[in-house]
Amino acid sequence: MSTHSIAFIGTGVMGRSMAGHLQKAGHTLHVHNRTKAKAQTLLDAGATWHDAPGSAAAQADFVFTIVGFPRDVEETYFGPRGVLAHAKPGTVVVDMTTSSPTLARRIAEAAAAKGLLALDAPVTGGDVGAREARLAILVGGAEAAFARTRPLFELMGKNIALHGGPGAGQLCKLANQIAIASNMMAWCEALTFAKAADLDPTRVLESIGGGAAGSTAMNVLGPRALRGDFAPGFYVKHFIKDMKLALETAAELKLDLPGLVAAKKLYDEVAARGWEDCGTQALWRLYAERA
């Protein structure tokens, strides 16, 4: 595979590992993050620091972004020091943040007007999937842009699919988050029940996690929760953002999603207790407190 000059904007829990895989494959890396210290391992390995997204994008053949909220995506792309104002024609810009499908379409339209190619490619798999380069990457955009970018996606993930035009990747990711929302409630309720019935929740988890009830969320996050590890693989505050986006889109589609509504209400309570910077397994703390 030929090497490229790549801008990577957002080097937090997920982005740092993802950028690292691109760097280890021999690509030249230009990075920007709101907090420079979070990019230090990449800088130590030879990446070039930039004080603004646009400065990094101006040096790149491909620009990858994975930031926090839709407002951050908007500023990263449309701000005066942003990607769209400075990327050179022919560059492929790829937003991997879980964000608004409508915003993804706006970015694609604005990118095309400047001679750029745009993809929305949110990911799922959490911090472990990012570290082990086995993320699922859910892509929306033009087939030609997807084909050009796929070799780079393959350095970061294993399950990679184009779901349609601009915004389709974001829609697929929202479907993923809808499934996870009820799943998180399910394993928390199962283990709450087990504990109340004087069973050992860890042993119960080991038994049911390998059967039909098992899931990645249960088997990865359940053990963390039971040992009191609430460090973020994926932040509560970001999951609440995703559920809000999903509910807004569901309303546009005239859909009633009661599981998602219930999960959002519970996670709002988690955040209200000051746990929004914890991992999503902090939902267990709420169930344990109520029990």
Distance CA 233, CA 183 (A): 16
Q: Which two tokens stand for residue 228?
A: 């009191």
pLDDT at residue number 21:
98
Quick one: DSSP state of residue 142?
-
pLDDT at 37 over 80: yes
pLDDT at 141 over 80: yes
- Cβ atoms of 205 and 223 within 8 Å: the answer is yes
Q: What is the mean pLDDT of residues 16-35?
A: 97
Distance CA 152, CA 109 (A): 23
pLDDT at 19 over 70: yes
Tell me: do 214 and 146 sit in the same domain: no
Domain housing 184: 171-290
pLDDT at residue number 199:
98
Identify the bridge partners of residue 237 per DSSP, sorted by sequence position: none
pLDDT at residue number 217:
93
Residue range 52-63, pLDDT digits in tens: 999 999 999 999
- Cβ atoms of 114 and 82 within 8 Å: the answer is no
The helix-helix angle for 258-272 and 283-290 (nearest 10°) equals 80
Tell me: do 139 and 257 sit in the same domain: no
Tell me: do 26 and 132 sit in the same domain: yes
Q: What is the CATH number of the domain that holds 37?
A: 3.40.50.720
Tell me: do 13 and 144 sit in the same domain: yes
Tally of domains within the chain: 2
Whether 254 sits among the annotated catalytic residues: the reply is no
Tell me: do 13 and 73 sit in the same domain: yes
- Cβ atoms of 100 and 166 within 8 Å: the answer is no
Q: What is the CATH number of the domain that holds 223?
A: 1.10.1040.10
The per-residue DSSP string of 232-290 comes to: -SSBHHHHHHHHHHHHHHHHHTT---HHHHHHHHHHHHHHHTT-TTSBGGGHHHHHHHH
Return the sign of the alpha-carbon dihedral for residues 75, 77, 83, 86: negative
pLDDT at residue number 76:
98
Residue range 217-256, pLDDT digits in tens: 999 999 999 999 999 989 999 999 999 999 999 999 999 9
Specify the amino acid at residue 224: R
Active-site choice (88, 158, 173, 264): 173
Distance CA 225, CA 228 (A): 5
Q: What is the mean pLDDT of residues 91-103?
A: 97
- State percent of the chain over pLDDT 90: 98
What is the length of the chain? Answer: 291
pLDDT at residue number 2:
87
Tell me: do 21 and 93 sit in the same domain: yes
Distance CA 241, CA 223 (A): 25
Q: How many other C-beta atoms can be found within 10 angstroms of the C-beta atom of residue 256?
A: 8
pLDDT at 126 over 90: no
Beta strands of the chain (E only): which ranges? 5-9, 28-32, 48-49, 62-65, 92-95, 117-120, 123-124, 135-141, 157-162
Tell me: do 157 and 38 sit in the same domain: yes
pLDDT at 1 over 80: no
